Amino acid sequence: MTGREQYMPGPARAAQVRKEGEKWTLILVRELRHPPEKVWRALTDPVHLREWAPFVADGNLGTVGATVILTWVGTGKPQATTVTRADAPELLEYGDIRWELEALGSGTRLTLWHSIDRRFISWGAAGWHICFDVLDCLLDGTPLGRIAGADAFEFGWHRLRAEYAQQFGTKDE
């Protein structure tokens, strides 16, 4: 991948959906070529998050007890969240999101657990898929710039949403 204009996501990857009672959780896994410490910085530092995440954070997410305002791209609605776990560089939890980082050789297996409304499971999977691609490029030193919200529509989001809906056996809302 040489730049944003050439970027197009690959097919939907193995992802899972778990349902416990009325709660639905999207689970996405990505293997990255970078050590957990470098991935951790990208998950917690607001400057790094601004380059790849689907939200803007007004503070660092790496400290337990920190209250950080997240503004999801496309909504404009700030939402306060509290960091409930920050075991660098292995586990990060805030709001309805949990990140697990596992050293994998010289790289990292990154797992996202995101509690999400069932009606939007395939939407979330498609969006996070693109964000993970952008994160991977950022870590490689070839940043694409954030692709989230309506911008993602121009980069294969609709196709991914349909593929994940088929994979999950959910109605593509």
pTM for the model stands at: 0.94
pLDDT > 50? residue 1: no
pLDDT > 70? residue 172: no
pLDDT score for 86: 98
- How many domains does the chain contain in total? 1
The answer to whether position 151 is within a domain reads yes
pLDDT tens track for 8-21: 999 998 799 998 87
The domain spanning residue 155 has which CATH number? 3.30.530.20
pLDDT score for 151: 95
pLDDT > 80? residue 173: no
**What number is the average pLDDT over the span 111-140?**
95
The answer to whether position 9 is within a domain reads no
- By residue range, what is the domain housing residue 68? 14-167
For the chain, the average pLDDT equals 94
> Residue 111 forms beta bridges with which residues?
29, 100
CA distance 108 to 134: 16
Tokens of 16: 């899972």
% of the chain surpassing 70 pLDDT: 97
pLDDT score for 72: 95
What pLDDT band is residue 2 in, cutting at 50, 70 and 90? low
DSSP H stretches of helix in 4-113: 36-44, 46-52
pLDDT tens track for 45-93: 999 999 999 999 999 999 999 999 999 999 889 999 999 999 999 999 9
Residues 6+ positions from 159 with CB-CB distance below 8 Å: none
The answer to whether position 156 is within a domain reads yes
pLDDT score for 87: 98
The answer to whether position 158 is within a domain reads yes
**Of all helices (H) and strands (E), which one includes residue 162?**
helix 157-168
The answer to whether position 43 is within a domain reads yes
HSE, CB side, 13 Å, CA atoms: give it for residue 59.
16
